[in-house]
Amino acid sequence: MPKQIFAKLIKKEKLLDNLYKFSVEAKEIVNIAKPGNFIEIRINENLDPFLRRPISIYNLDKENGILEFIFQVKGKGTKLLAKKEEGELIDIIGPLGSGIFKLEKIKNIAIIGGGIGIFPLYELAKEAQADGLNVNTYIGFRNKDLVVLEKEFQMVSSHLIVTTDDGSYAKNGFAIEYLKSDLESKQIDAIYACGPLPMLKAVKQLAENKNIPCQLSLEEKMGCGLGVCLGCAVKTAGSPKEEPQYIHVCKAGPVFDSKLIEI
């Protein structure tokens, strides 16, 4: 059951010009959160902005009850959030989402993310490594100036590939190209992905072509985070016996079996 708390901001880090990592005291949420869950944040006490902002969970420090999340400043709400200072309280509801990453009956996994989509994958990689899984991670960025968390992912991965679209840092090209190549020589039992929609479509197709189970974390605009506003609908793939339906990312997801949804 999600909880509403006022979490103390204990550490604020600026990772890039418009990218921040917040660490907050949130034991009540940390104790029950799982990889793939997200939180909703009220920016301030007045009604502007009116809606909470959905943000994925980056890291769960269960020993100390610390929750970490990373967000990009895109609009008014996140711009105001970035002005919060250490010591301030942040109104958070979480953990949200019933669709979480599942690590069951597998040994070798591939984790692939692009841009800001890599953030919810870190806790997954960390938990998978702790469970003794072989973690192959592929993270891609547009250019070297946008590369973040390389060291962090290196520590929780058995094998890490970093790519840039323009070749300005690490491997040249898209992360999925290196995943495709490794699938020819590596045993992969499941694929987990989060990132831009074109990347997710390509990962979904690759997984289905190779007959490998795949879980996708979708990034949709969410108003309430509870399935009430109906603003984050996604179409199911349907079947010969069933018509496609619409389900909501915030409630049924944000993580889905790739065969369940149409993207």
The CATH number that applies at residue 132 is 3.40.50.80
| Backbone angles phi and psi of 109, in degrees to 5 | -125, 155
Task: Please tell me the predicted confidence (pLDDT) of residue 217.
Answer: 96
Indicate whether 18 and 86 sit together in one domain. yes
In a domain, 27, yes or no: yes
- Domain count for the chain, please give it: 2
Q: Is the pLDDT of residue 47 over 80?
A: no
What percent of the residues of the chain are helix, what percent strand, and what percent coil, each to the nearest 5?
25, 35, 40
Picking from 54, 75, 96, the residue at the C-terminal end of a domain is 96
Task: Please tell me the predicted confidence (pLDDT) of residue 144.
Answer: 98
Judged by average pLDDT, the poorest of 64-78, 85-99, 145-159, 241-255 is: 241-255
In a domain, 170, yes or no: yes
Q: Is the pLDDT of residue 153 over 60?
A: yes
CA distances from 102 to 58, 89, 192 (A): 16, 32, 9
Exposure class string for 190-211: b at 16+ Cβ within 10 A, else e: bbbbbbeeebbebbbebbeeee
Indicate whether 89 and 151 sit together in one domain. no
More confident residue, 232 or 247: 247
Mean pLDDT (the chain) is 92
Picking from 178, 196, 218, the residue at the C-terminal end of a domain is 218
Indicate whether 58 and 112 sit together in one domain. no
Q: How confident is the model at residue 229 (pLDDT cuts 50, 70, 90)?
A: low
Indicate whether 158 and 80 sit together in one domain. no
Judged by average pLDDT, the poorest of 61-70, 86-95, 194-203, 229-238 is: 229-238
- Domain residues for the domain of 118 are 108-218
